[in-house]
Amino acid sequence: MSRIIALTNQKGGVGKTTSAVNIAVSLAVSEEKTLLIDLDPQANATTGVSSLINGEDVNTIYDVLIRGTAIKDAIINTQFSHLDVITSNSDLVGAEVELVSLMAREFHLQKALESLKRKYKFILIDCPPSLGLLTVNALTTAHSIIIPIQAEYYALEGLGQLLNTIRLVQRNLNKKLKIEGVLLTMFDSRLNLSKQVAEEIKSYFGDKLFKTIIHRNVRLGEAPSFGKPALLYDANSVGARDYMDLVEELLDSGN
């Protein structure tokens, strides 16, 4: 059975999509069959792996959720034999409104993924930076959540609302949902602020904080503009190594 992991934080700019893309690719390089689903209308995860996929028109996650397209018809193979992708585009902006009127609106993604649970070891969902119906669909479907938090001022801002949403989903929609881990991103070891934020997050989340920290890294920031994950853009970069370490930690936690 697949491990379905949603990456979510309604606060933008925390490295959520960067993490989704690089975790997915690092898992694939580790020969774990992985599906990356871009559930964000901004489609940044789609852009981040664009060099790995063909440019032809395909069905997107919007077609699956709203038009009833079979999910197998939205899967795109990549250059990595162990990585497949379901893309997004701006059509998904309207999905929040369109889902409202549908029956069992919180379960559309779960129903769509039912046929894939034995095909992939990992299914990663890059959620939108909001707590709307798309994110609720992801949380209803997922076994666990990774919460990326940047090592900057106001890092914990808005987290109470996210944690409250998680509790509501656990209570009413998905009792098995758990927090896989909190991921500290954009860490700069030269700054006292980064260290202070790290301590604050550790005291708040305890052992839920991943041991691996994602350091602020120029190559990591440049990679998406070339449609590449860090591992392909510069395999020796700090960012690429950090995500490989994180995946090793993730795989160990599943044993």
Residue 67 is encoded by which pair of tokens? 């038009």
Put simply, whether the predicted model's pTM sits higher than 0.85 gets the answer: yes
Say which range, 124-128, 157-161, 165-169, 208-212, has the weakest mean pLDDT: 157-161
Residue 46, helix vs strand vs coil: helix
- The per-residue pLDDT of the chain, averaged, comes to 92
pLDDT at 85 (0 to 100) = 97
254 φ/ψ angles, rounded to the nearest 5 degrees: -90, -5
Place of tokens 């989704």: 20
Helix 238-253 with 16-29: angle, nearest 10 deg: 70
- Domain chopping of the chain, boundaries: 3-253
| Confidence category of residue 161, pLDDT binned at 50, 70, 90 | confident
DSSP letter at 209 equals B
Q: How far apart are CA 93 and CA 61, in angstroms?
A: 12
pLDDT at 157 (0 to 100) = 80
Say which range, 37-51, 79-93, 188-202, 204-218, has the weakest mean pLDDT: 188-202
Residue 54 predicted with pLDDT over 90 = no
One-letter amino acid of 158: G
Query: What ranges make up the beta strands (E) of 11-63?
Result: 34-38
Residue 86 predicted with pLDDT over 90 = yes
Which has the higher per-residue pLDDT, 26 or 160? 26
Q: How far apart are CA 131 and CA 115, in angstroms?
A: 26
Question: Residue 164: exposed, middle, or buried by beta-carbon count in 10 A (0-12, 13-18, 19+)?
Answer: exposed
Class of the CATH-defined domain 3-253: alpha beta
DSSP letter at 107 equals G
User: At 184, which helix (H) or strand (E)?
Assistant: strand 178-185
Cβ atoms 134, 92 nearer than 8 A: yes
pLDDT at 173 (0 to 100) = 95
Beta carbons within 8 Å of 87's beta carbon, 6+ residues apart: 38, 43, 46, 53, 58, 60, 61, 74, 76
Task: Provide, for the chain, the percentages of residues in helix, strand and coil under a 3-state DSSP scheme, each rounded to the nearest 5.
Answer: 50, 15, 35
User: At 222, which helix (H) or strand (E)?
Assistant: helix 218-222
